[in-house]
Chain A
Amino acid sequence: MSLVMPELDRGVLGRRAEIVAALRRIVPGEGVIDSATEMKPYESDGLTAYRALPMVVVLPETVEQVSQVLRYCYDQKIKVVPRGAGTSLSGGSLPLEDAVLLGMAKFNRVLEIDYANRVAVVQPGVTNLGVTKAVEHEGFYYAPDPSSQIACSIGGNVAENSGGVHCLKYGLTMNNVLGVEMVLITGEVLRIGGKHLDADGYDLLSVIIGSEGLLGVVTEVTVRILKKPETARAVLLGFPTSEAAGDCVAKIIGAGIIPGGMEMMDKPAIAAAEAFVQAGYPLDVEALLIVELDGPEAECNHLLERVSDIAKSCGATTLRVSNSEEERIKFWAGRKAAFPAVGRISPDYYCMDGTIPRGKLPLVLARMRELSEHYKLRVANVFHAGDGNLHPLILYDANETDELERAEKFGADILKLCVEVGGVLTGEHGVGVEKRDLMPTMFNETDLAQQQRLKCAFDAEGLLNPGKVFPKLHRCAELGRMHIHAGKVPFPDLPRF
């Protein structure tokens, strides 16, 4: 994919030394990095195919510093790219050469744990797992669990509305964040929500979560924490066809059961995972399901029986229930290591993230096999089966001349297919730069303009993370214009009372 990024602001680049000096006055010491070698670690995120050195990296430590840096950039019309841990798989935190990269890593403290109200207040640089670590000695945890949870930051989770394997039952970031403190590009500090559930005005949290760093810089997050379920048990189910596995998923949900997790892997993914971690997966099946039930032991056992019966009726050829915590963890080990496992069997892989209506799975898998032949590239699939979120991993070798290009085309075709069957371009990894130019396959110009008008309410100059999410960022003044051709007779044929 040839990626066109916003035109470089030569004026800003020409004033680089002056800008660095001004930023140093706000964030003293090592908080401003401007040497190319030291900025190298920031040149890309989890989407490593794209790289760019930022103009300067700033690592503020206080909200006041964030506010002053943003205010300065606003006054000087300098672009800003917020960054958490840099694990985005869509290029959300990809630097821009004429922008300040604002790294939030030093915001790494857990500020308050309030068990009685079941919330934790944390800074955005705290890792996802860090939240659970801070509360687990009291038997609590933070539910959304992206596979990157040891590394990714809560600020990044908020910006991407990240999910994990337990989202089917416990929700995404969106459903587990109660409040944020956010600094606007103008330097103004807003507090939205808190420990209470309904807040004043519009539900701005709904759009801030998942906004990919385009609306403001999050400096504090209030998350909901939950008591750990007493027991969790998993069952491994193998099926001769992906249709049978898909059917089983539908029947489980149709029976009124919402498992804690329900993941599917196809044959290539099973083989890669098994070779990597020896999780004990059957190799003679086309599709593998891991279904986890959690809650009181009596409930788990009861539901496991029902799930097992359903699986048998759907033609499961393997059925193994975890009989110990070690065994349960082993069942998951293969799934959790699926990405690196695939990384072992191929020099490079490209991870996709579309969502489809679950019932379309067999169709989508079949079409994907055709595409795989067409592009002459292998693909392995892991699938959040309960909620239809598909992660095809396209295997390629970047050292072969056109393989990256083929992989990207293959990926784009898969995402278009997801939209075609009623799904969406991205379930949890974000649009970023990766899917930016595919947005028109899902939204028409009016839809996209309406989304951008929302951005205008937060960042009228378009300085925050430009070049991400929207194929073309229109100026707010232009978006505000109205063209109305009406007003003659007030709708003569409408029924009136």
Chain B
Amino acid sequence: MSDTFKPRDENEIVEAVAWAASGGKKLELIGQGSKRALGRAAQYDTTLDVSGLSGVVLYEPEELVFSAKAGTPIAEVEKVLAANRQEFAFEPMDLGPILGGKPGEGTLGGMLAVNFSGPRRIKAGASRDHTLGVKCVSGRGEIFKAGGRVVKNVTGYDLPKLMAGSFGTLAVMTEITLKVLPAAEDVESVLALGLSDARAVEAMALAMGSACDVSGAAHFPQAIAAKLPVKAVAGGNSSVMAFRLEGIAPSIAYRRGKLEAMLKSFGSLAVLKADESRTFWRAVRDAVPFSGKTANALWRLSVTPTSGAKIGGAIASATGAQMFFDWAGGLIWVEMPGENPHEQAVRSAINGEGHALLVRATPSVRASANVFGVLDEGLGKVIRGVKEGFDPKGVLNPGRMYAGL
């Protein structure tokens, strides 16, 4: 068991990083540790727990801007925003359930470091799209800032967005500034039942290419649909494809009519009202159907939307995996029947046309599998160069994403 250091401010983080860099030590960064089981399993000398850096720094609802210390719990942030009927439009995922932890945990820093966005990604973008500024301590033990607190800013490289999805391997974020948006007044979902994966992907492309302004498009094969926590869906015995419509009531009503007309030829339709819709899309966001068997390997694939069904089908027939589709087919959650991640089958199905991340696996699998894939040579060189620029001694989460990085 390694030591844990819990700094109280950024100067103590500087101290810790400088100590590690000068002594050849490796630090594991954590917030609340809710995503600790995600990533390659690597050896660290010491854990750096940044959850002590917590608290809202600035929140101006009318300016749509929010800043907080990186260790601030997301649950707390969401409460503050909700009190002003605002939210992060990118719907940060709660990984607790699928990783076998408690729901509702995680910090702002962890949210950005992982950059897993929810169903609204197809319309509103990812957490990186909403990140405006950061303050960090680099692996060099230096405090730096980048970006700002305004949405339109091209002053220097957009390093805040580079932090998104870097899994703590570049710098220790200490403060993050994000754009916030008004929460939709109302929400409804239109479901089409009984579609094959291929038909569903077709229908989702059609809806996304319409002016219906869909803010969620997901498809659940029958066995997975049954595990959704929404009565209207779980009770039936057919696949479920769902579209989310958000906004003001008269607009939703109009768009629902349009969508229903468009989907008529695809299957029988149903509607989820606001409360059920919210529960439904939260379950999509958190991949809830795959929270039962936490020993089974679980993948998150980002692919060309119209290739979703084909890629999913190839993986299913090679491995017996179960899956569901979000992002109109562009995001596939794939659960293997056991601990074996079948990496080869997954990667050859994608065939370079997307990205696959092994989100859940046993520690021994995570120690040997290419959790994030294998970088091609050219890209790998640049990425190692970027790491070198931020963390030349390999102090911060080394090996968490790629071996030797």
Contacts and interface: CB of A to CB of B under 8 A. Distances in A.
A482 B140 contact: yes
A447 interface: yes
Given A258-B182, A389-B152, A357 B248 contact: no
B70 to A, nearest CB: 17
A451 B156 contact: yes
B274 interface: no
B15 A491 contact: yes
Contact of B18 (A115, A388, A458, A486): A486
Nearest to A306: B248
A373 to B, nearest CB: 27
Interface stretch (B5-13, B93-101, B264-272): B5-13
A431 interface: yes
B145 A388 contact: no
A486 B18 CA distance: 6
B155 interface: yes
Given A204-B383, A298-B253, A427-B150, 17 more contacts: A140-B209, A171-B125, A195-B304, A200-B373, A201-B402, A206-B164, A227-B211, A355-B150, A357-B149, A359-B60, A359-B62, A422-B148, A426-B155, A428-B154, A439-B156, A447-B156, A487-B23
Interface stretch (B102-110, B278-286, B338-346, B384-392): B384-392
A197 B211 contact: no
A427 B355 CA distance: 32
Contact of B150 (A194, A296, A387, A454): A387
Interface stretch (A160-168, A274-282, A332-340): A160-168
A229 B388 contact: no
B39 to A, nearest CB: 14
Interface stretch (A72-80, A185-193, A343-351): A185-193
B376 to A, nearest CB: 8
Nearest to B350: A196
A274 B164 CA distance: 45
21 contacts: A188-B381, A197-B327, A201-B375, A206-B164, A227-B211, A355-B148, A356-B150, A358-B62, A384-B152, A429-B154, A442-B155, A450-B142, A451-B156, A453-B390, A454-B389, A456-B385, A469-B156, A484-B18, A484-B22, A495-B5, A497-B3
A480 B157 CA distance: 18
Nearest to B129: A175
Contacts of A11: none
Given A431-B155, A450-B159, A424 B148 contact: yes
Contact of B251 (A196, A251, A299, A358): A299
B194 interface: no
B250 A206 contact: no
Given A161-B154, A450-B144, A457 B386 contact: yes
A168 B129 CA distance: 13
Nearest to A231: B211
A323 interface: no
A4 interface: no
B145 A443 contact: yes
Nearest to A357: B63
Contacts of A480: 388-389, 392
B295 interface: no
Q: Interface centre among B157, B304, B401, by most A CB within 10 Å?
A: B157
Interface in B333-355: 353-355
Contacts of B49: 497
Name the 6 nearest CB pairs between A and B, nearest first.
Answer: A457-B385, A453-B389, A206-B161, A256-B182, A299-B251, A486-B18
Contacts of B254: 296-299
Interface of B: 3-8, 12, 15-16, 18-19, 21-23, 46, 49, 52, 60-65, 85, 115, 121-122, 125-126, 128-129, 138, 140-146, 148-159, 161-162, 164-166, 170, 181-183, 185, 205, 208-211, 213, 247-248, 250-251, 253-255, 302-306, 327, 330-331, 353-355, 357, 372-373, 375, 378-383, 385-386, 388-390, 392-393, 401-402
Contacts of B85: 256
B392 A482 contact: yes
A127 B19 CA distance: 52
A453 B142 CA distance: 13
A486 B25 CA distance: 13
A254 B84 CA distance: 9
A428 B151 CA distance: 10
A171 B143 CA distance: 30
Interface stretch (A14-22, A207-215, A405-413): A207-215
User: Which residue among B7, B49, B128, B211 has the maximum number of chain A CB atoms within 10 Å of its CB?
Assistant: B211
Contacts of A264: none
Given A196-B354, A486-B22, A491-B12, A171 B129 contact: yes
Contacts of A358: 62-63
Given A299-B247, A450-B390, A425 B155 contact: yes
A494 B156 contact: no
B62 A250 contact: yes
B155 A435 contact: yes
A211 B382 CA distance: 15
Contacts of A295: 213, 247, 251
Given A487-B19, A491-B12, A357 B165 contact: no
A296 B255 contact: yes
